[in-house]
Structure 1
Amino acid sequence: MTERPRTAETPARQNVTFPSAGGTAHGYLALPPSGSGPGVLVIQEWWGLTDHIADVVDRLAAAGFVALAPDLYGGSVAHDSKEAGRMMQALPVAHGVELLSGAVEYLLSRPEVTSDTVGAVGFCMGGGFVLYLAAVDPRVSAAVPFYGVIQGELPDFSGLRARVLGHYGEQDGSVPPEKVDALRETIREQTGTAPDLRRYPAGHAFFNDRRPTYSPDAADRAWRSTVDFLHEQLG
């Protein structure tokens, strides 16, 4: 996996701080043109809080949401895939979920947020964290993993309250079709409701326009359905 190289002049994107996991967390927040709207978390890929993730936040804000990307790496951004892999492995899933739950609390506490629950949209590692978070935090009512990578065993979805819309590439070696099928069946068995997991003729990271696997058509279709889904669930 490769993304445009980062330099000392292009650090992680941050413009807010908030209490989380017993400390101070950072993130990138954007407000809609109206100044208020439903809350949505954007959860980073394994690279960190990059320009691409900040762009997703801005696009959601333009679509009417108060969007927040919490920085799970505390300001660090990976320069290559080896470093990204090390950084992802150094973030325990339980701690990542704790940080994200603090971000949910912060988002819902902001006066600009009009919803009682939040949506969560994530990519690659962040797509996996969307599922981990939604499985334990009922304040997440709309979960949208893009090619979500689950680290280890699937979580227990018996407490899942969110509706799930997932986007996956048919040529994605990181999340092959059989894993998507297993995810769908596990959620269906444990919740009684089947998630809407969609497949596209694309590879991994097809939404990231800084990646060679970027697929404009698949990205556009997934984005439009995501925005509609979030509005349906959150208002």
Structure 2
Amino acid sequence: MRIPRWTALGALLLAACATADPRPASPGDREHLDAMSHEHAGETPTANGSAMEPRQAVVAQDVEYLDANGVKVRGYEARPANTAANAKLPAIVVIHEWYGLNDNVRMMTRRLAGEGYRAFAVDMYNGQVASNPEQARTLMGGVMQNPQGGMANLAAAVRSLESRTGADRIGILGWCFGGGWSLQGALNMPAQIDAAVMYYGRPVTERDQLAQLRAPLLGLFGGADQGIPIAQVRQMEATLRELNKDVTIQVYEGAGHAFANPSGQSYNAAAAQDSWARTTAFLARHLR
């Protein structure tokens, strides 16, 4: 018997979204922000020609799922066109990279839906979208200063999926900023998340935190990524294996940060194509 998905934790997290005071950035947070600024320096979130259409027709719409500080937050949801609006489908919470919920992330959300899922892209920036690295750093830093609010956002997305559609298999997937939050979502909502995919996100190496993981984890990283230390990725992998967790880590030698991003200048076709194949196989294995 599965543990009930929505508990008092969800209500507490939602309250935290509206009441938590920003905390000072830790040295580790500042170091990570500096690293991401370095990796994205000089780029813009401009489509780089790698966008692909979903494998089947999909329908998509904005969905209101959270009231944060009196502001209605809207996500973006896509599903196969041949299914009803309230159809019970395996679902994926999609978390944008550091620029925000822009058209590139919407495209990837539709592409995931084309694999037969209800894909629900959250908005971690409450309607704001960055157009340059400086704005992205500010928005990402704001979420890092209020991690309880970030978790409240993800918990609200899960609750929305369950209450509207009865989804009983839910995965979580994100890139860059969203890759780190994908892992955090799986660690903090172990009873809700059935599979987690993190693309070049911030690793966790603390054993007590990693012990909370229940969902299978797929991590996809670039060997030439200067913002995500591969040594930390390998340390996370080793600790998870010691804890007998289901973890698969793939490192693409020569690929940099954001190798699968459909915007910017870091796209690596070989790594992006292989990681997508691994992602779809992983999700099918654990969500269907």
Structure 2 residue 182 is matched with structure 1 residue 135: no
Contact 1:34–1:64 under 8 Å retained in 2: no
The structure, 1 or 2, with the larger RCO (C-alpha pairs under 8 Å, 6+ apart) is 2
Structure 2 residue 168 is matched with structure 1 residue 121: no
CA deviation string 1:167-195 (max 9, x = no partner) = 00000001121011122123234x42251
Contact 1:38–1:118 under 8 Å retained in 2: yes
Q: Which runs of 5+ in 2 are unaligned?
A: 1-39, 48-59
Structure 2 residue 56 is matched with structure 1 residue 4: no
SS in 1 for 2:179: helix
Percentage of matched positions with identical amino acids: 35
CA distance in 2, matches of 1:31, 1:196: 27
CA distance in 2, matches of 1:209, 1:44: 12
Q: Counterpart of 1:167? A: 220
C-alpha displacement at 1:21, in angstroms? 6.2
Q: Which runs of 4+ in 1 moved over 6 A?
A: 151-155
Q: Counterpart of 1:17? A: 64
Amino acid at match of 1:98: A
Amino acid at match of 2:44: E
Q: Among 229, 234, 238, which residue is 1:181 paired with?
A: 234
Instruction: Flag the 1:5–1:200 CA change in 2: closer, same or farther, 3 A.
Output: closer
Instruction: Flag the 1:148–1:154 CA change in 2: closer, same or farther, 3 A.
Output: farther
Q: Counterpart of 2:147? A: 93
The alignment of Structure 1 onto Structure 2 pairs a total of residues equal to 226
CA deviation string 1:86-141 (max 9, x = no partner) = 11111122211111011011112232x6x413101100010000111100102111
Amino acid at match of 1:62: G
SS in 2 for 1:46: coil
Q: Counterpart of 2:276? A: 223
Instruction: Flag the 1:155–1:83 CA change in 2: closer, same or farther, 3 A.
Output: farther
Contact 1:31–1:61 under 8 Å retained in 2: yes
Question: Which stretch of the first structure deviates more once superposed, 21-30 or 148-157?
Answer: 148-157
Which structure dedicates a bigger proportion of its chain to strand? 1
SS in 1 for 2:184: helix
Contact 2:197–2:218 under 8 Å retained in 1: yes
Q: Counterpart of 1:9? A: none
Instruction: Flag the 1:154–1:169 CA change in 2: closer, same or farther, 3 A.
Output: farther
Which structure dedicates a bigger proportion of its chain to helix? 2
TM-score norm. by structure 1 comes to 0.88
Instruction: Flag the 1:154–1:74 CA change in 2: closer, same or farther, 3 A.
Output: farther
Q: Counterpart of 1:157? A: 210
CA distance in 2, matches of 1:96, 1:152: 20
CA distance in 2, matches of 1:82, 1:25: 23
Supply the RMSD in Å over aligned alpha carbons.
Answer: 2.3
Contact 1:20–1:103 under 8 Å retained in 2: no
Structure 2 residue 75 is matched with structure 1 residue 27: yes
SS in 2 for 1:116: coil
TM-score norm. by structure 2 comes to 0.73
CA distance in 1, matches of 2:124, 2:107: 17
Instruction: Flag the 1:87–1:14 CA change in 2: closer, same or farther, 3 A.
Output: farther
- Looking at CA atoms only, which structure, 1 or 2, has the larger radius of gyration? 2
CA distance in 1, matches of 2:141, 2:230: 24
C-alpha displacement at 1:5, in angstroms? 5.5
1:44-55 correspondence to structure 2 within 5 Å: 44-55=96-107
